[in-house]
Amino acid sequence: MRTQHLPRTITRILNTASALVLLGSLSQMALASDRRLAEENQAVKENAKRNVILIIGDGMDDNQITIARNYLKGARGKLQLDHLPLRSTSQVITVDEEQPDLPIYVADSANSATSMATGVATSRGRISTTAGDDQDLTTIAELAKAGGYATGIVSTADVADATPAVFISHIALRGCKGPSDMQPTENTPSWSNLEACVNDQIARGGKGSIAQQIATGNTDIVLGGGSSHFDQTAESSDLTLLALARKHGYQTVSSAEELPGLETSQKVLGLFAPSNLPTIWQGEKGRIAEKPSPSLLNRLDWRLGSVELPEPMRCEKNPQFGSTPTLKQLTDTALKHLAAQDGEGFFLMIESASIDKQSHARNPCGSIGELEQLEDALISALAFAEQEPETLILVTADHGQAAQLKPNISLFAHGGIAVYTPGHVARLITPENQIMAVNYATNDFPYEEHTGVNVPLYSNQQGLGRIAPMVTQPEIFNIMAQYLNLPAAPSKPAAQ
């Protein structure tokens, strides 16, 4: 018996009908998702508190995460980051200072964090100000405060450093940290261009240094390093910045022991080191990545001779860390303080800063320990969100960094030729008793460069339906603003 085939016309009609049904279903799903988000935002207006916790791993690209995962959990293990239900990608956007319509392909922390804080791409070195015309950009923390939310900043860096600074200050250059930086002197390094700070002096109608803006600001809690700036005399005042902060309602603390006794009715400024907080880990006896040592014959002809690689090592505790509060302790303190405030909820930025800083210094153990600190802070944030489910947690990086995984023994070394990195390499003995080679080769300068890769963006359950598979960094601002029912970023040219 012959199989009966439908005429082609009928088949096409049925296929078209099926496609229309599918499109209709997808449209209904999209509309349902939009309705759900609209209903949730309406609920924020009516009753429920809502919170945003933004965790930034400075320089935490996929290489850094993989290196840390291998060392902390093993090649088959998973970090806390890996258990989050959403993983997206964030494209870092930087513009040229002289021609803001043109892109620059590698960012610094100031401009990339400004993108997230304000929704506007700017040029390198700027702290929440526009490229070219130097206009202040309203930040998510400022909008949140104006909208009835409490705000907080936690960092393992100097609190006047680029990433924390962009959320709560505005200035032309990230180097304008304290009052002494606002006027160039004969001792000012030629590369620092601190003349850019002059126009932001209070005497010239500006807002003053980053630290002075923090001391006179209204952020509910600021925790990190940077006490050296606050020991300086304030611009247009006889007071130190620390005394000025107290005059503006801050209770000030400088040790981990003081954290449990903080008054939730007062703002908090906690400064736990003169500059950046020390890292938890270091390489054995303070070792960092080192250059391979080729034989004389190999230096004469790359096809001959041999090479001696740096000795393998393990990570160890950094004795300088001492009684420094951990990022988890600072996070727990900030969450407790912000949750006790009246209002609509809160915005909190937490930065694990030395993933980047130790990569600049070619110290993989410092970066790994700092990423472990981020993991502990994330665990605290997730525990808080379990109790307060209207809490959006975002974890991301500001830019890429130099550290790169390479073969311990080159794939091309089988023919007896000495193949080795032209840069610096650290050979770490992992808990799996294998050697992991971490390479640094962006330059031959004492300080490694950032790289121009996109960076990961993670979220908890609250991010589902709100975050696309790929976003630009300025769009992170809009995700946070929408969640808190705050105004979106100002429109800018499409290139941004």
Task: Using the CB atoms, write b or e for 140-168: b if 16+ within 10 Å.
Answer: bbbbbbebebbbbbbbbbbbbbbbbbbbb
Greater confidence, 392 or 190? 392
Q: Please say whether the beta carbons of 306 and 298 come within 8 A.
A: yes
Range of lowest pLDDT (127-131, 147-151, 409-413, 436-440): 409-413
pLDDT of amino acid 184: 75
The pLDDT of residue 450 is above 80: yes
Residue extents of the structural domains in the chain: 49-280+319-402+453-483
Q: What is the pLDDT of residue 488?
A: 84
Which residues carry a binding-site annotation for Mg(2+)?
58, 161, 163, 351
Res. 140 pLDDT band, cuts 50 70 90: very high
Of the CA atoms within 13 Å of residue 368, those in its CB half-sphere come to 28
Which residues are annotated binding-site positions for Zn(2+)? Answer: 58, 356, 360, 398-399
Higher-confidence position of 112 and 413: 112
pLDDT for the residue numbered 416: 84
If pLDDT is split at 50, 70 and 90, which confidence band does 4 have? very low
Weakest mean pLDDT among 38-47, 135-144, 376-385, 415-424: 38-47
* pLDDT for the residue 491: 56
**What is the model's pTM?**
0.90
What does the pLDDT read at residue 196?
A: 83
* Catalytic site positions: 109
- What three-state secondary structure class fits 262? coil
* Homologous superfamily of domain range 49-280+319-402+453-483: Alkaline Phosphatase, subunit A (3.40.720.10)
pLDDT band, very low/low/confident/very high, at 32 (cuts 50, 70, 90):
low
Binding residues: 58, 161, 163, 351, 356, 360, 398-399
SS3 call for 222: strand
* pLDDT band, residue 19 (cuts 50/70/90): low
Per-residue pLDDT tens digits for 247-288: 999 999 999 999 999 999 999 999 999 999 999 999 999 999
Q: Indicate the pLDDT class of residue 495, thresholds 50, 70 and 90.
A: very low
Per-residue pLDDT, 245: 98
Q: What are the Cα distances from residue 152, in Å, to 17, 108, 149, 467?
A: 54, 23, 10, 23
418 or 19: which carries more pLDDT confidence?
418
Average pLDDT of the residues of the chain: 91
128 vs 3, higher pLDDT: 128
